[in-house]
Amino acid sequence: MTEVELPYGEGTRVITVPEEKLTGIYEPRHLPGVPDLETAILSSLENPIGGNDLARLASPGKTVAILVDDVTRTVPTQRILEFFLPYLERLGFEL
């Protein structure tokens, strides 16, 4: 049996996992933030990997859904939306 400590609320919980059921323990990579968040976001929106940019997909009458991470993820969702929502408005989406 292996004891694994997991984040839980403001603290942690320890669980015990049978060896034959444990495939590995994976932790997130910690990367430095981007120096200019607005430029990084707009560049990503205008030059997506493996697909069309939103400007090519946008047309009158189209709708858009926005999915965001929950509070357990260390993503600056509020800061991202500060740049993303005005971008959608410039493309003609009604918010």
Gap between the Cα atoms of 37 and 34, Å rounded = 6
Gap between the Cα atoms of 39 and 83, Å rounded = 9
pLDDT tens digits for range 2-58: 999 998 888 999 999 999 999 998 888 888 888 999 999 999 988 999 888 888 887
pTM score, whole prediction? 0.64
Give me the sign of the Cα torsion angle 72, 75, 78, 80.
negative
- Asked whether the beta carbons of 54 and 88 are under 8 A apart, the reply is yes
Gap between the Cα atoms of 85 and 68, Å rounded = 13
Three-class SS of residue 48? coil
pLDDT tens digits for range 49-78: 988 888 888 777 788 889 998 887 878 899
**Cα diameter, the chain:** 58
* pLDDT at res. 86: 93
Look at 54 and 88; give whichever has higher pLDDT: 88
Gap between the Cα atoms of 56 and 44, Å rounded = 14
